[in-house]
Amino acid sequence: MSDQITAVDLRVRYAETDQMGVAYHTHYLVWCEVARTDHMRRRGVTYRELEGQGLRLAVVEASIRYRQPARYDDLLSVRCWVREVASRRVVFGYAIDRPADGTLLATAQTALIALDGGHHMSSIPDVVRSRLGAVPDPVRL
Amino acid sequence: MSDQITAVDLRVRYAETDQMGVAYHTHYLVWCEVARTDHMRRRGVTYRELEGQGLRLAVVEASIRYRQPARYDDLLSVRCWVREVASRRVVFGYAIDRPADGTLLATAQTALIALDGGHHMSSIPDVVRSRLGAVPDPVRL
Amino acid sequence: MSDQITAVDLRVRYAETDQMGVAYHTHYLVWCEVARTDHMRRRGVTYRELEGQGLRLAVVEASIRYRQPARYDDLLSVRCWVREVASRRVVFGYAIDRPADGTLLATAQTALIALDGGHHMSSIPDVVRSRLGAVPDPVRL
Amino acid sequence: MSDQITAVDLRVRYAETDQMGVAYHTHYLVWCEVARTDHMRRRGVTYRELEGQGLRLAVVEASIRYRQPARYDDLLSVRCWVREVASRRVVFGYAIDRPADGTLLATAQTALIALDGGHHMSSIPDVVRSRLGAVPDPVRL
C-alpha cells in the first residue's frame, strides 16, 4: 500500500511568504497540487498526457486546515493519496509535514471532476480509475 | 443590514489564468481576502492598523466550492460577510459572482484566529468584535 | 495625448507581500500587465478578443527598476504607454506611483511579439498597430 | 570554478501556467530566486540566517529575456552565478534551460542591495562578499 501514498519534498520559496513572516495560506493548495501531479505520475497517470488526450480534471471543492505555519526555507514533505474515486469524480487527501521537527502543518482535501475539451462533464476513463485506488486516510483530515 | 455585506469588484488578471483557460483555483481565495480586507475597512477595522498594533488574524481553515469557472478579463463581484464571531475566532463567508450573466461562480468560508506579535493565541479586541457582527448567509455555501 | 497614457488604480493585496514586509518584486510586473490590458482596451484593442481571433502577444523581454517599496494596502497608480511599435513587436513602458505621498516606486518596460495560434511568429494587424501609437516616455525609465 | 555556478532542478507547476498554455512570465523570476537562495547556501551564505541577523538583500533591478516558452510539467535546470559584487550591491546572472531537449529558455539578471532591519542602506558583510565571488557569464545574457 505504500505506493498508494506519495510524498514529495519541497522547500518554501521566499515568494511564498507574506508579511506575517510565514507562508501565505493559498500556496499550501499549490503544494498539494504538486504532490497530486506526482502521485498520479507514480500511479501511471501522467496528467500532462491526460490533457493531451482531451481530458481535464477540474477542482470543484477544496478544504484545508492549517495547524502550524510553514516558514521560508522550510523543507516540507507533502503526502497525497486518493480518498474516493467514482465515475466522474475523484477526491484526494493531503498532509503537509515539516520533517525537521516532525510537525504536521496542514491537512487538506480536494475534489476533482472530469471534463472534456469543451469543459463539459465527462467520465474518468476506466484505466485511470483503476490506477487511482482509494486508501484509508493515513492522518485525520 | 446591507452594510454588513460588502461587495467588491475586480477583474480576472491574465496572471490568474492557467492552461485550462480559466482562473486557477487558488486565486479565488485571494479574491476572498481582498473582499475581507475591504469589508473590515468599511466596518471600521483597518487590518493594516490592527497589524500595526500587534494583532494578527491568521487563516486556520478554508473551504471553497467552485461552481462555474471565472475567465480572463471577467468582471467579478465578491461578497464578504461575517458568519460567526467569538472571542478568539471569526468566520467569514464569501460569494463570487459574475454580474454580466448573473452566474454564481463560487462560495467559500475561512476561519481566522487572533495571534499576537509573537504568533501566540490572543483575543479579538472587543471593539473589533463589536464591529464584525455576524449575519445570516445571503447564499447557501 | 493624454489618452495615450493610461493610469489604473490598484491596491496592494496581502497575498502580494513577502516577509520583508513589502510587496514581492515579481508582482510589480503583474500590475504592469493589468495596466497594459487596460491601456489596450481604452485604445480600442481588447486583448481577450485578440486571443479569440488567434493572435497572442507574448512577453519576450522585461526589465524593471525598483526605487521604493510598495506596502500592503497601499493604493497605487500604474501608468502604461507604448514606447515603440513595429510590424511584429511592441514595447510598453510603465511607471508605478503611490499617489498618497507622490512617490515613484518603480519603472519598467516589456517587449511583446505577435504569435499565431500555433505559437509561431506573426504580425500585429495594421488596425491594432495604428491604435497603439508610440509616445515619448513621461518619466525616465 | 564549477562550484561558483549552481544549477537547481525544478518542475513547472500547473499553477505557473497561463491560458497561453505556457508558464506565465513572472514565474521565471521566482525560479531565479530559488536558484539564488540555493547558490548562496552552497557558497556558505544561508539567506534565512542573514535575515535573522538583520540583513536583507532587496531586488532593485531585474531584467529577463524570454527565448522559448517553458511548459507545464517541464523539468528545468536553473543556473545562478554572481556577475558583480561591491560593498553594497551584488548582481546575479541566471540561465534557465530545459535539459530534455537542450533548449535555453531564458536568461536574466537581478541586482540586489543590502538593507538593515529598518530598510536603510547597509553594507554587505565582508565574509558574505568574499564568498560571493564574481565569475564570467557562462552564457550571453
Q: How far is B47 from chain C (nearest CA, A)?
A: 9
Would you say residue D140 lies in a domain? no
Sequence-distant (≥ 6) Cβ neighbours of residue C122 within 8 angstroms: C55, C88, C114, C115, C116
Tell if the CB–CB gap between C18 and A17 is shorter than 8 Å.
yes
How many CB atoms within 10 Å of residue C4? 18
Q: Which amino acid is at C22?
A: V
List chain A pLDDT tens, one digit each, 141 residues: 568 999 999 999 999 999 999 999 999 999 999 999 999 999 999 999 999 999 999 999 999 999 999 999 999 999 999 999 999 999 999 999 999 999 999 999 999 999 998 889 999 999 999 999 999 999 999
Q: Which residues of D touch C (CB under 8 A)?
A: 19-22, 25-27, 29-30, 51, 56, 58-67, 69, 119
- Residue C137 inside a domain? The answer is no
Q: Is residue A97 in a domain?
A: yes
Domains of chain B: total: 1
Residue B47 has pLDDT above 80, yes or no: yes
> Which residues of C are annotated as catalytic?
18
pLDDT at D1 over 60: no
Question: Which residues, 6+ apart, have CB-to-CB distance to D7 below 8 Å?
Answer: D35, D77, D78, D79, D80
Q: Which of D20, D57, D71, D110 to mutate to test the interface with C (most CBs of C within 10 A)?
A: D20
Does residue D138 form part of some domain?
no
The residue behind cell 516532525 is A102
Residues B22, D21: C-beta atoms closer than 8 Å: no
Task: State how far residue A37 is from chain C, nearest Cα, in angstroms.
Answer: 24
What single-letter DSSP state applies at residue A106? E
- Grid cell, residue C110, equals 516589456
* pLDDT tens column, D56-79: 999 999 999 999 999 999 999 999
ipTM of the complex model: 0.96
Whether residue C13 contacts residue B33, with contact meaning beta carbons closer than 8 Å, is answered with yes
Return the SS3 of D42.
Answer: helix
pLDDT at C133 over 80: yes
Q: Which structural domain, as residue segments, surrounds residue B11?
A: 2-131
Q: How far apart are CA D43 and CA D37, in angstroms?
A: 10
Q: What is the DSSP string of C14-66?
A: GGGB-TTSSB-TTHHHHHHHHHHHHHHHHTT--HHHHHHTT-EEEEEEEEEEE
Closest CA–CA distance from residue A126 to any residue of chain B (Å) = 23
Looking up cell 473590515 gives B40
**Secondary structure element (H or E) that encloses residue B60, with its range:** strand B56-66
Supply the pLDDT for residue A83: 98
Instruction: Report if residue B138 sits inside a domain.
Output: no
Chain A residues whose beta carbon lies within 8 Å of the beta carbon of residue D13: 30, 33-34, 37
Write the single-letter amino acid at B83.
R
Q: Which of C13, C30, C37 sits opposite B34 (nearest CB)?
A: C13
Asked if residue C98 is part of any domain, the answer here is yes
- Whether A18 is catalytic: yes
The label of the residue with cell 506596502 reads: C71
For residue A140, being part of any structural domain is answered with no
Contact at CB, C61 and D65, closer than 8 angstroms: yes
Computed from CA positions of residues B30, B31, B33, B34, in that sequence, does the dihedral angle turn out positive or negative?
A: positive
CATH of the domain at B86: 3.10.129.10
pLDDT in tens, D111-124: 999 999 888 999 99
| Single pTM value for the model | 0.97
Provide the residue type at B34 as one letter: V
Tell me how crowded residue A135 is: count the other CB atoms within 10 A of its CB. 13
Nearest C-alpha in B relative to A31? B26
Q: What is the pLDDT of residues C91-110, one digit of tens each?
A: 999 999 999 999 999 999 99
For residue D2, pLDDT over 90 is answered with no
The answer to the question of residue C136 being in a domain is no
Residues of B with CB under 8 A from a CB of D: 14-15, 17-22, 24, 26, 72
For residue D22, the chain A residues in CB contact (below 8 A) are: none
- Contact between C33 and B13 using a beta-carbon 8 Å cutoff: yes
Q: How many CB atoms lie within 10 A of CB C89?
A: 17
User: Which residues are within 8 A (CB) of B137 and not within 5 positions of it... i.e. 6 or more apart?
Assistant: B81, B83, B93
